[in-house]
Amino acid sequence: MAEPRLRVWLARPLFEDVTARLDAHFDVMRTSVEDRYPPAAVAEHLREVDGALVTLSEQIGAEEIAAAARLRAIANVAVGYDNLDLPALTAAGVLVTNTPDVLTETTADFGFALLMATARRITEAERWLREGHWDRWSFDRMLGADLHGSTLGILGMGRIGQGIARRAAGFGMRVLYHNRKRLPVETENDCSRARYVGFNELLSQVDHLMLVLPYTAQTHHVIDAAALAKMKPTATLVNLARGGIVDEPALADALAHGRLAAAGLDVYEGEPAVRPELLALRNVVLTPHIASASPATRRAMVALAVDNLIAALGCGPDAGRPSAPVNAELLKR
């Protein structure tokens, strides 16, 4: 008798022509709507399947997999995976994969867009114009911070941080970075001759600070009131990483009281909720977690997640060897 086909859950309707490749290998449980799943609904779906393709909106931990006896793989359509409780999934033998590389350049582009919009007050100026305030040209209206000739700080010098650093040369910026470890000199040279500095030096020296580090227990609120107090009051802060890296009430307070010039945020601690104190400020640019959102990149992310899931469940040309495993130790068992 033929083996029963493996089952997978596709948590979102994502690029149908790409996800159709799953059908060659699996019975696919699909949804046609962009639902928010309460934890019980996530658990209910996972109970039935061998694998799942999910996005950052799905939070999966010990409770959600408690009854998922068949579950062997989760393909996350994101490079970050803080929506997944990695120790719990690893302990249960569930292989997790992510989507690095394919989103690096698009995200780095967006980092610069957000930095420029923030430093040069683009959204504030547009809002002011649309509100009908512009009755005469004025020499000193909406003065903003220069990028050229300034010092860019990058906290977290992984692939995206390096993409941002490479772009900085085009703007004539000096680049400082802080990372868990220093990069090889050749990589630093490729990254606009970026210079490794300590965390406190980074905070105090830079005119613009980009946050592109992973969110972990160690990086929770690393940008808190004390860190913000070390920054120049004229500085700009951009967060492309995860909201939980920044103590948002402390940030709002610094922005409201002139201890920091401006912030550009693509991510929030309780997203999609955004704190009212941030919404109330004029010197903050707020975007809805869209740094990797170009059609080609979003499509490439889904394609990589599909390949990861097929391989992780032992099918296709790379059976057993997904290209982007997160808990790769499970592959060695």
Binding to ligand GLV (CB under 6 A): which residues in 93-112?
Answer: 103
78 binds ligand GLV (CB under 6 A): yes
Q: How far is the CB of 14 from ligand GLV (least distance, A)?
A: 13
Catalytic residue status for 242: yes
User: Which C-beta is closer to ligand GLV: that of 80 or that of 314?
Assistant: 80
Task: Decide the pairing of beta strands 236-239 and 262-265.
Answer: parallel
**Of the listed pieces 75-83, 111-119, 123-131, 194-202, which binds ligand GLV according to CB under 6 A?**
75-83
DSSP assignment, residue 170?
G
In DSSP terms, 15 is beta-bridged to none
Return the residue of 10, 18, 73, 79 that touches ligand GLV, per CB under 6 A: 79
Smallest distance, Å, CB 81 to ligand GLV? Answer: 7
Distance CA(232)–CA(229), nearest Å, equals: 8
Q: Does 297 bind ligand GLV (CB under 6 A)?
A: no
Site for ligand GLV contains 219 (CB under 6 A): no
For residue 295, the tally of other CB atoms under 10 A from its CB is 9
Which residue in 213, 228, 207 sits closest to 152, CA to CA? 207
Site string for ligand GLV, 240-279 (x = CB under 6 A): ----------------------------------------
Assess whether 220 carries a catalytic annotation.
no
Contact 194, 157 (CB under 8 A): yes
Question: Residues 7, 30, 166, 289: which is the catalytic one?
Answer: 289
Strands (E), 157-207: 174-178, 195-196
Q: How many residues does the chain have?
A: 333
CB of 28 to ligand GLV, least distance (A): 23
Closest to ligand GLV by CB, 223 vs 291, is 291
- Give the C-alpha separation, 139 to 145, whole Å: 15
Contact, 157 vs 177, CB < 8 A? yes
How far from the centroid of its chain's Cα atoms is residue 199's Cα? 21
Kindly state whether residue 42 participates in binding ligand GLV, applying the rule CB under 6 A. no
How many residues interact with ligand GLV (rule CB under 6 A)? 5
Q: Which of 242, 248, 269, 298 is catalytic?
A: 242
45 classed as catalytic: no
292 binds ligand GLV, rule: CB under 6 A:
yes
Q: Which of 41, 59, 61, 80 binds ligand GLV (CB under 6 A)?
A: 80
Q: CA angle 301-242-31, nearest 5°?
A: 45
Helix (H) or strand (E) holding 90: helix 86-91
Question: Which listed residue (271, 275, 277, 299) is catalytic?
Answer: 271
**CA–CA separation, 231 vs 239, rounded Å?**
15
Nearest residue by C-beta to ligand GLV?
A: 80
Q: How far apart are CA 15 and CA 25, in angstroms?
A: 18
Q: Which residues contact ligand GLV (rule: CB under 6 A)? A: 78-80, 103, 292
Active site residues: 242, 271, 289
